[in-house]
Chain A
Amino acid sequence: MEKQSAFNIHPMDQFIIDPILTGENLEWYSFTNQALWMLISLVSISFVFIYGSRKHQLVPGRLQSIAELLYFFIRDMIIDIVGQEGLRYFPYIFTLFILILFGNVLGLLPYSFTYTSHIAVTGFLALSVFIAVTIIGFVKNGFGFLSLFWISSAPLALRPILLIIEVISYFVRPVSHSIRLAGNMMAGHAVIKVFAGFAGALGIGAIAPIFAITAVYGLEMLVVVIQAYVFTILTCVYLNDALHPGH
């Protein structure tokens, strides 16, 4: 959509996927900026966890305590929501959390690319959670898993209506799970870019938008961490539904 206005702001341009090594066209083998930033996040995750857990000091150093904090944060979350038997799925949930957290936080660097702002990425993550949780539910409970939709504590006349509502809400889960993360990332980064566009247009009067960017940036630091937390905690809630469908 070509439009020219007084303020030349393109807040959505930062989400364009560019091939950066393999020519102009976007092919299936192209090395894109998305792949580059996923690689950077992989390298930084490996650095924090391999270098952080190398020395095993009793009194942890800085990097070791970051790694330990993240580890025990997710471990306690799983024990709180799912219970002890949820710890079998700890590696998967921890991987999800770390991948999303590093993607979100690295996306706040200037000139970087936020891979979690694309529904292609978050949709894949949410769909894999959905499929995994459904399979776990049927494997652990057999057809008893379907009692998740048939709420026995409700009055009998209401149960068919609740059945329809529960089935719909079950299948909407991957949609809301993925769009929540992608939408939050996209909206937040676009807001920062819009204020940056104001600063560029105002010239010497740009001090007000710069203060606004600082404030929004602080808010975004909070939002990116909370969204990674929310994605993980909802994964735990869905897993709890699969393991204990009766209530």
Chain B
Amino acid sequence: MVDGNLVEMGKLIGAGLACTGMGGAAIGVGHVVGNFLSGALRNPSAASGQTATMFIGIAFAEALGIFSFLVALLLMYAM
């Protein structure tokens, strides 16, 4: 016996599925920072000049995860 309607259920399942996209962003951010660290530990004197580049890379990788979060929010509240 299912309580509530099917559309509501579909929205919530869709929102949950959309949030899996955030895992991809997590992998991306980890990859950026990990590679930055492995490079920085080999040549620490060059590391401080590249911190800004690392943050730009993080921002680009993170944006796509935020998009999936946004899709989840739109499904739950706006549609």
Contacts and interface: CB of A to CB of B under 8 A. Distances in A.
B27 interface: no
Interface string B48-62: 000010011011001
A183 B77 CA distance: 14
Interface in B64-79: 66-67, 69-70, 73, 76-77
B9 interface: no
Q: Is the interface of B mostly helix, strand, loop or mixed?
A: helix
A187 interface: yes
A147 interface: no
B26 to A, nearest CB: 13
B69 A230 contact: no
Given A77-B52, A80-B52, A230 B70 contact: no
Interface in A187-240: 187, 226, 229-230, 233-234, 237
A234 B69 contact: no
Contacts of B76: 1
B63 interface: yes
Contact of B66 (A180, A226, A233, A237): A180
Contact of A233 (B52, B62, B77): B52
Contact of B77 (A12, A81, A187): A12
Contacts of B63: 176, 179-180
B5 to A, nearest CB: 12
A180 B68 CA distance: 11
Interface residues of A, number: 18
A234 B77 contact: no
B69 A183 contact: yes
Given A1-B77, A12-B77, A230 B55 contact: yes
Contacts of A184: 62, 66
A176 B66 CA distance: 9
A55 to B, nearest CB: 32
B67 A233 contact: no
7 contacts: A1-B77, A12-B77, A81-B52, A179-B63, A184-B66, A187-B69, A226-B55
Interface of A: 1, 12, 77, 80-81, 176, 179-180, 183-184, 186-187, 226, 229-230, 233-234, 237
> Which 3 A-B pairs give the minimum distances between C-beta atoms?
A183-B66, A176-B63, A230-B59
